[in-house]
Amino acid sequence: MLQRIQSVYLFICILLSGVLPFFIKLWTVTNKSAIFAADNKLYIGLFLISAVLAAISIFSFNKRQNQFVINRLNMILNFIIIGLLVYHSLTLSGEAQVSEKGIGMLLPIFSIFFLALANKAIKRDEDLVKSVDRIR
């Protein structure tokens, strides 16, 4: 059932984690060179794992509990990405001058937001199925 609203939310997470980090800069260093996720192998791996988890979650629609757990793991992974981004942005070399943080540092936060919306919709579906089973 790919037409459910949580599938839309999870597809947005795939876009946020699998596509946008490679086109939106994470930050700009003092010599005006932009840093993207593709410049660091760790960020490439973490963002792609997050996108793959969202894709797995979309196609495990038969097992709503597994889908819920996969989304929770994806949220934890995005919190780790946020932590790494904050750490790297605070320890940039040449911080005596002002460096510019990019909008790409907010992508994991948006991803967590859409994962939470997807989990809320999955919970609503699970409650609906349980209420129908109770009537039988």
Residue 58 and residue 8 in contact, taking contact as beta carbons nearer than 8 Å: no
- Structural domain boundaries, residue 101: 5-135
Q: Which of 102, 103, 54 is nearest to 78 (CA)?
A: 54
The percent of residues above 70 in pLDDT, for the chain, comes to 90
Residues across the chain: 136
State the pTM of this model.
Answer: 0.87
Which of 21, 8, 10, 6 has its CA nearest to residue 108? 21
Give the pLDDT confidence score for residue 132 in this predicted structure.
Answer: 78
Residue 135 or 34, more confident: 34
| pLDDT tens readout for residues 72-84 | 999 999 999 999 9
Looking at residues 90-98, what average pLDDT do you find? 61
In contact, 89 and 25? CB cutoff 8 Å: no
CB 59 within 8 A of CB 7: no
Domain count of the fold of the chain? 1
Q: Is the pLDDT of residue 98 over 80?
A: no
